[in-house]
Chains A and B, each alone.
Chain A
Amino acid sequence: MDWVAFFTAAVQAGTPLLFATLGEIITEKAGNLNLGVEGMMLIGAVAGFTVGLFSHNPALALMGAFAAGALSAMIFAFLTVTLRANQVVTGLSLTIFGTGVAGFAGKSLAGKLVPEDLKAAFVSAKIPLLGDIPFVGRIFFHQDWFVYLGYIMVILLGVYLYKTKMGMNLRTVGENPGAADASGIHISLYKYVHILLGGALCGLGGAYLTLVYVPAWQENITAGRGWIAVALVIFATWNPYKAIIGSYFFGALSLAGLYLQKFNMQISLFLIDMLPYIVTILVLIFISMKRVRENSPPKALGEPYFREDR
């Protein structure tokens, strides 16, 4: 078996998951559980593809997906932060809405292909020096630059969350909004900015599918990846560095079934598909048993914050 090819493919399969997972991590760090990931990814996927199709410009295509993701998250932010609606219900509604929007907007896109010049922009390129490392270099540094953008995002987000004042404030908002409010942090502003940013990243994750991975628009192209991202956030214990490992691991798992079939293994594809969710549950149980604070869900996750109610 060609392991290099397998792992290279795993990284690519993990990339849309990575973007969506990072997006959901930022959102949840602000204390909001947005279950609309699937919807936001779909909207980003259709927006990125449409802009790319008409502009032939990779940067514009990405910006389109980014903006579309953020806009759809705006609905969630407005309803849950300003109007204090229930987050779970709003997120689920966003998934219905997003599926509808993308399904409708995608009707005219079926069968269209990504323009050649745009495809060329996303073609795999070797990074000098790093790409020469045996094995690892082939897997991680002979990729398209969307994948590299993923690496950059992980580092940016990691530094932001753990090394900057704003990142620390953000974590306080998610853990203890009362205390954050008392220390003068503008809770609503923090929530809005990070929910929007989270949606934007989900949008990019969707765009990777339509622009690079498939590359075309298909009805329901995300195929449940948004929900896997929700699982991955737990798997990664809300940590962007673990998110990249988790995303590629889940990416590999999603391919494992196909590879095993090739080798006539007597394990069902569908039982292997269960693994990501089982592993996630085990992680969830483990972190609640150990009660390690840094690995736990943000304390105020899912709870709206009313200053007046305190």
Chain B
Amino acid sequence: MLRITKRAGLTKKQIFLYRIIAVFAALVASGIFILALGHNPVAVYASMLEGAFGTLYRFKETIIKTIPLVITSLGICIAFKMKFWNIGAEGQIFMGAFAAAYFALNYPSMPMPLMLLLMAAAGFIAGGLWALIPAFFKAQFGTNETLFTLMMNYIALKWITYLQYGPWKDPKVKGFPMISKFNENGFMPKVLGIHAGWIIMLLLVVAIYIFMKHTKKGYELAVVGESENTARYAGMNIKRVIIMSVMLSGGLCGISGMIQVAGVNHTLGIEVTSGVGYTAIITTWLGQLSAPVILLVSFLFSILLQGGSYIQTAFQIPQAVAQLIQGTILFFILGSEFFIQYKLVFNKVQFFKSGKEAA
């Protein structure tokens, strides 16, 4: 008989080994595919690394891709810890970017530090409020938040599209509708050649790590996630914990949107998220809801993204293949979790025992 049992006590080293095997298996699987396309997989992978690290410019691009992924994942992680399945990060990023852009576009003469602070605050509040809508209904009526937050993404997307093609369209730009660029007061300053978002990212990783591991509030939200009853017996105000944590979760996603408009795009537009809201769900999950691991996973994923777009030019391999490789790697890693948590047991002992008794 083949039986599945829960595995107890794998060492960290073993878990790490399993993950490496999974990634390796994924690379082999997509390698076979690349081979079928008539390319040398090793050369393709090597050039992906080259695309992500080869020059200073490319390395900076990789970091720039990492920043929104990490900050958004941190936001999602807070909600997930509470078992509030917030998959609305995409919309929260949009709304954060929208609120930040509102101030940058309407008060262009404000001094830079004040402007950036205001944009960040607006981004946080807008992202947080956008997440609070589903949270309110979840707390009040138990409305399914997975589906609710998903729908909110599309409303936010259409809202930004509406602004870009309608009232906020820059009349000076001919052709493709665009919102006008911010005044330089609304640009995130650069530090070491990359916009200062990377410092914010690192600070947030530390802050969220401490918040989750070492503060009462962080503990409370984990308890609410584990069991609402326990939380109630312990005298926690569950609704308040939910509202506060979701506000923080959406707020961080909003900040991510603000950093994107102030640091990279310097304007608002539908391409501001470039799917980060969805990718971050994956990185959050693979990062096991732990801030430092999320940082690592997001960085690795950015290598995949940046390297993937590079092999396009280097090998004329279509962008679609990069997505295909991404998907394959994700499948393998998701599948490997099973072998970390469970083991297959071949029930020999019992089989022989019953045989003996029968004899």
Residues in A lying within 8 Å of B, measured CB to CB: 33, 35, 75, 78-79, 82-86, 88-90, 92-104, 106-107, 224, 227, 230-231, 234, 268-271, 273-274, 277-278, 280-281, 284-285, 288-289, 297, 301-302, 308-309
B143-172: which residues lie under 8 A (CB-CB) from chain A? 143-144, 146-148, 150-152, 154-155, 158-159, 161-162, 165-166
**Contact status B150-A230, CB under 8 Å:** yes
In-complex Cβ contact of B278 among A75, A92, A278 (8 A) = A92
Contact of B324 among A104, A234, A308 (CB under 8 A): A104
Residues of A within 8 A of B278 (CB): 92, 95
Does B282 lie within 8 Å of A100, measured CB to CB?
A: no
Pick from B154, B155, B331: contact of A97, CB under 8 Å: B331
| B142 is an interface residue with CB less than 8 A from chain A | yes
* B109-159 interface (Cβ within 8 A of A): 137, 141-144, 146-148, 150-152, 154-155, 158-159
A100 touches B323 (CB 8 A): yes
Whole-angstrom distance from the CB of B148 to the nearest CB of chain A?
6
| Contact B165 A302, beta carbon cutoff 8 Å | no
* Inter-chain contact B155/A88, CB cutoff 8 Å: no
Q: List 16 A-B contacts (CB under 8 A).
A: A82-B338, A83-B334, A89-B281, A94-B327, A97-B328, A98-B327, A103-B323, A104-B318, A106-B320, A231-B147, A281-B148, A288-B143, A297-B147, A302-B85, A308-B6, A309-B6
Contact across chains for B334 and A274 when beta carbons are under 8 A apart: no
- What CA separation (Å) do A63 and B328 show in the bound complex? 25
Cα–Cα, bound, A280→B161 (Å): 20
- Cβ proximity bits B302-331 to A, threshold 8 Å, 1 near / 0 not: 000000000000000011111111111011
Query: Residue on A with the closest CB to B3?
Result: A308
User: When the two chains form their complex, are residues A285 and B324 in contact, meaning their CB atoms are under 8 A apart?
Assistant: no
Q: Is B191 an interface residue (CB 8 A)?
A: no
Contact assessment for B155 and A277 in the assembled complex, using a CB-CB cutoff below 8 Å:
yes
Verify if B87 is at the interface (C-beta below 8 Å from A).
Answer: yes
Contact of B331 among A86, A93, A288, A302 (CB under 8 A): A93
Q: Is the interface of A mostly helix, strand, loop or mixed?
A: helix
For B325, give the chain A residue with the smallest CB separation.
Answer: A100
A92 contacts across to B, CB distance below 8 A = 278, 281-282
With A227-B154, A270-B166 already in contact, the answer to whether A288 and B137 are too (CB < 8 A) is yes
Q: How far is the CB of B303 from chain A (nearest CB, A)?
A: 16
Chain B nearest CB, measured from A154 CB (Å): 22
A195 to B287, CA, bound (A): 27
Beta-carbon nearest neighbor of B144 in chain A: A297
CA distance A75 to B330 in the complex (A): 12
Query: Which A residue sits closest to B141, measured CB to CB?
Result: A288
Q: Is the CB of B337 within 8 A of A284?
A: no
Look across to chain B and name the residue whose beta carbon is closest to the beta carbon of A94: B327
- Inter-chain CA distance A277–B330, complex, in Å, is 29
CA distance A85 to B342 in the complex (A): 12
Q: Are B158 and A99 in contact (CB under 8 A)?
A: no
A residues less than 8 Å from B321 (CB atoms): 100, 104
Which of B5, B285, B322 meets A308, CB within 8 Å? B5
A83 touches B338 (CB 8 A): yes
CA distance A35 to B161 in the complex (A): 23
Question: Complex: how many Å from CA A176 to CA B158?
Answer: 37
CA distance A308 to B341 in the complex (A): 12
Closest to A233 in B: B147
Complex CA–CA separation, A86 to B151 (angstroms): 20
Chain A neighbourhood of B342, CB < 8 A: 84
Beyond A86-B285, A97-B326, A271-B162, 5 extra complex contacts between A and B, CB < 8 Å: A83-B337, A89-B286, A97-B323, A99-B323, A274-B162
Residues of chain B within 8 A (CB-CB) of A78 are: 335
Shortest Cβ gap from B341 to chain A (Å): 8
3 closest A-B pairs (Cβ-Cβ)?
A97-B327, A103-B320, A100-B323
User: A88 near B85 (CB under 8 angstroms)?
Assistant: yes
**Is the pair B320, A274 in contact by a Cβ cutoff of 8 Å?**
no
CA distance A271 to B156 in the complex (A): 11
Instruction: Decide yes or no: A302 and B323 within 8 Å by CB, A92-B282, A93-B331, A285-B137 being known contacts.
Output: no
- B286 contacts which chain A residues (CB < 8 A)? 89
B4 close to chain A: CB less than 8 A:
yes
Nearest residue, chain B, Cβ from A95: B278
Q: Is the CB of A289 within 8 A of B323?
A: no
A99 to chain B, nearest CB (A): 6
* Residue from A84, A270, A289, A297 in contact with B161 in the complex, judged by beta carbons closer than 8 Å: A270
Task: Check if A277 sits within 8 Å of B143, measured CB to CB.
Answer: no
Enumerate chain A residues within 8 angstroms of B318, measured Cβ to Cβ. 103-104, 107
Alpha-carbon gap, A79 to B331, bound state (A): 8
A33: B residues at CB distance < 8 A: 146
Most B C-beta atoms less than 10 A away, residue of A35, A234, A277: A277
Pair A268/B330 contact, Cβ less than 8 Å: no
Which of B4, B143, B320 lies in contact with A100, CB distance below 8 A? Answer: B320
